[in-house]
Amino acid sequence: MQKIKVFLVDDTPTLTRCLEKVLNKATNIMVAGNAIFAAANQKVIQENVPDIVIINLSSNEKKGAELVGMITKEFIALKVIVLSTHDDFNSISAMLKSGVKGYLLADVKHSELNKAINKVMQDETYIQNTVAGKFINGYQKENHVKAINNLSPREVEIIRLIAKEHTSADIGKMLFISEHTVETHRKNIWRKAGVKSIVGLLNFAREHQLI
């Protein structure tokens, strides 16, 4: 069985040795090499030919972020897992957007780290269980804000009137605008909400607490 080759980047040698010892005990994982941030460059990574690079951001956040950027740009097929002390949505989101495939806390259990390595190797994105809930909640809130901000006050007003079963003609009279203008607003609302029917619009409105 071919083992997953992992390369470790950490500025704390003691932790690196501990992690290396633990990972090498796994039947399908081997540590191909390790480096401190100052030595973790493109040449070193190429020489070790890893499948996954594990970067401990908690030991050097600035250098870690720079290294993530370099790897995701120069090594398209190479997967990155980061260890961090931050469990907030913005930190996780920033790393995922930069191309990271796995996000774990620095004190993650070894069993979950092994699980993450295997999942990421299968081209899946893995977020540690204890922080996944926070990320999902943050993602939903961000999408909610984007959806609401994308609509004009007039469009929100029309959505609420549509929800009360008013026709375009009714809405035009109530808002002192032409029926044609109402229809234009409706088309824009449909497009912005990404829906194709009244049912879809009502579901969107309920989901984003507009009605």
User: What sign results for the dihedral spanned by CA atoms 93, 99, 102, 104?
Assistant: negative
Fold classification of 4-137 (topology level):
Rossmann fold (3.40.50)
Cα(36)–Cα(102) distance, integer angstroms: 20
Q: What is the pLDDT of residues 8-35, one digit of tens each?
A: 999 988 889 999 999 999 999 999 999 9
Dihedral angle computed from the Cα positions of residues 128, 131, 136 and 139, in that order, rounded to the nearest 10 degrees: -110
Burial of residue 106 (CB within 10 Å: 0-12, 13-18, 19+) is middle
Sketch the domain layout of the chain as residue ranges. 4-137, 150-207
| Other beta carbons less than 10 A from residue 15's beta carbon | 16
The class of domain 150-207 in CATH terms is: mainly alpha
Q: What is the pLDDT of residues 76-133, one digit of tens each?
A: 899 999 999 998 888 888 999 999 999 999 999 999 999 999 999 999 999 998 888 7
pTM for the whole structure: 0.69
